[in-house]
A and B are shown apart, each in its own frame.
Chain A
């Protein structure tokens, strides 16, 4: 392959090692600090090993309030963004080229807008209508850009949709509603599901938009931020560790299911090929 000198090769490798240490060590330190008895989360000095901070976390009422609020907001965001995201993707797919690029630009603009600005504009707009800040406003603010994520995911799948399936169903006598329910929606389902998961995650970890719209309500991210500034203990690390563990477990589960689906598709393909040869033998 490439004939680079071993000296520059060595430097590159060294750099990579440093980079990945830089990338992962902070997370490791944060996790390890959970088990230090030190009241301030740190690994130096190590004052003794403990799991007491998990207990402290569980006993923290505010954490539970924040968690509950985050879950409520996340579910509400799913309920709003998924249907709208699907509708927007379908609309985008169906309009003509000129209108399409215009519509697309408007639809993705929230993704390029800073979260604080989305929060502020949502706050100011609804204040005009007499609606004060609170979780409901956070839901609306977050949804305004999370819909765009869902739209993009559904769009990507919709682009690969074979429209003759829709036409075939219509030709066989289905109403438009039946065709949507039996053909298009089942096809979109994986993207809709992935969109829902993404929407929840985006909502769950949102801070910037929530900060301006939350009124006096507290979500888990707001709780963590306030804890870090006032009253930081390794209980926050314990929370971080749990969240990271859940995320990684979810990711692995997703990866496994994806591989299984791929293997299944490959097996079906093989059976079809076998059926092909069988049919040929029969004719011959």
Chain B
């Protein structure tokens, strides 16, 4: 602290500390704490707050799983949505990784510099386009009378049009499309630093291409894979716009459930509890990835 004062002087240091404290305390930490505290309350109207009906309870959390029957494998509605969200986000993450990896490999190592620069530009353009618009583009394509059905009917793959937007397929395709680039750039950055001599040495020793990737490229790209997976999973699990545009009532996402509790059910404590559960899911996934891939926070926030 004294060093800061020596460097910036007392006035600037004080202003700096106060302003940063305002951000971190009033805008980040306190809201999170209040949300968590809120989630342990019963849902009572404002007028009854602090009254006898307003007490601490775990009910908002327990209600997520209440009614689960593991023997018959039946789950209450919200819990089913929660599980679907985890499963869906994981699937989106895996798909993004598989789809991006060959492209990242090509752009980072195989393409000549000029071509690589061009491809990077092509990759960046959709990245700049608003998430809603990227999703909207797929809404048009996947529409019942849209170009995808028309094309597939045209070349005879389909006999009759498919309702893409009423299953989970549309949501998954849309999410992979919307978040793919958050996988692509970390992957490219990580693969770029690989020394190609290693690959050539392995080829010299007669390793087939898939062994080269399994034993050399993928281990080297681990930090990139971790960062990409974290970004995509968190974005997918907490996405609202994609499921709400490309999904149907049968494919509701956990964020939609939270929204409904807040603004249709008028049950803020329940919504807060679910939001905290979603946060826990994301933090859990981040920690898991950081543990598996041994990366730090500084690698992620780039």
Contact = CB atoms under 8 A, between A and B. Distances in A.
A247 interface: yes
A96 B3 CA distance: 9
**Which DSSP category, helix, strand, loop or mixed, fits chain B's interface?**
helix
Contacts of A128: 34
B244 interface: yes
Contacts of A221: 130, 132
B10 to A, nearest CB: 8
B134 A120 contact: no
Given A26-B141, A40-B143, A122-B31, A147 B23 contact: yes
A108 to B, nearest CB: 4
A69 interface: no
Interface string A238-251: 00100110011001
A128 B30 CA distance: 11
A51 B181 CA distance: 32
A282 B138 CA distance: 69
Contacts of B23: 84, 88, 144, 147
B140 A29 contact: yes
Contact of A108 (B16, B278, B297): B297
A248 B1 CA distance: 44
Interface in B161-213: 177, 180, 199-200, 203, 209
A12 B241 CA distance: 33
Contacts of A19: 99, 102-103
Interface string B284-295: 001000000000
A65 interface: no
Contacts of B75: none
B258 A125 contact: no
A207 B31 contact: no
Interface stretch (B57-65, B121-129, B218-226): B121-129
Interface residues on B, range: 35 or more
Contact of B203 (A2, A29, A41): A2
Contacts of A23: 122-123, 126, 177, 180
B84 to A, nearest CB: 17
Nearest to A13: B106
Given A117-B278, A124-B31, A248-B128, A224 B12 contact: no
A222 to B, nearest CB: 9
A4 B203 CA distance: 9
Interface string B11-55: 110011101101110011111101100100000000000000000
Interface in A111-135: 111-118, 120-128
Interface string A82-125: 01100110110011100000001111111111111110111111
B143 to A, nearest CB: 6
A37 interface: no
A208 B203 contact: no
Contacts of A16: 102-103, 106
A42 interface: yes
Contacts of A2: 110, 199-200, 203
Contacts of B276: 117
B145 interface: yes
B107 to A, nearest CB: 9
Interface in A30-52: 30, 33, 40-45
Nearest to B297: A105
B158 interface: no
A90 B286 contact: no
Contacts of B141: 26, 29
A120 to B, nearest CB: 5
Given A44-B145, A117-B278, A124 B35 contact: yes
Given A16-B103, A251-B124, 12 more contacts: A33-B140, A42-B147, A44-B146, A112-B301, A114-B235, A115-B238, A120-B262, A125-B34, A205-B131, A240-B136, A243-B130, A247-B129
17 contacts: A2-B200, A3-B203, A23-B177, A43-B140, A44-B150, A45-B150, A87-B15, A95-B4, A107-B24, A120-B258, A121-B35, A147-B23, A163-B7, A207-B241, A237-B140, A240-B136, A244-B129
Interface of A: 2-4, 8, 12, 15-16, 19-20, 22-24, 26-27, 29-30, 33, 40-45, 83-84, 87-88, 90-91, 94-96, 104-118, 120-128, 140, 143-144, 147-148, 152, 163, 166, 175-177, 180, 205, 207-208, 211-212, 221, 224-225, 228-229, 236-237, 240, 243-244, 247-248, 251
Interface pairs A-B: 10 shortest CB-CB:
A176-B9, A114-B238, A125-B31, A26-B137, A121-B31, A44-B150, A144-B27, A121-B35, A30-B137, A108-B301
